[in-house]
Amino acid sequence: MKLDSNNHSVFLLYYHLVLVVKYRKKVFNDEMSDYAKDMFVKFGEKYNISLVEWNHDSDHIHILFKAHPNTEMSKFINAYKSASSRMIKKEFPHVREKLWKEMFWTRSFCLLTAGGSPIEVVKRYIENQGLK
């Protein structure tokens, strides 16, 4: 197992994030998922976050990522949700029709640390969460 490091510490911090579309509207598709994933990767660079695994269903996404200990998780997640909500509604007109004045994501989110499980087990779980 390779540890990450910065000037004064070594660490290995994995997180499993689940974001749900407002009212569980079934609007997520492969194209929108790729768009949101690209945004997550670009946005994550500013917060020392790197994507490990991504999958989606029609009304939610699962994200496995690594982060540095100084990353402010709630700040990052809320900033990502806000920016991605705005951009998804701009890029995908069918979403704007269903969620006109609403945010794209629900206000809540599920964030789990993945340190207790072997990371390969968590990756397999997320891989299997997509559309069947």
Please name each of the domains of the chain with its CATH number. 4-127 (3.30.70.1290)
Using CA atoms, how far apart are residues 63 and 26, in angstroms rounded to an integer? 18
1: tokens are 């197992």
Residue range 8-55, pLDDT digits in tens: 888 889 999 999 998 898 988 999 999 999 999 999 999 999 999 999
Instruction: Tell which residue, 98, 101, 108, 112, has the closest CA to residue 28.
Output: 98
pTM: 0.84
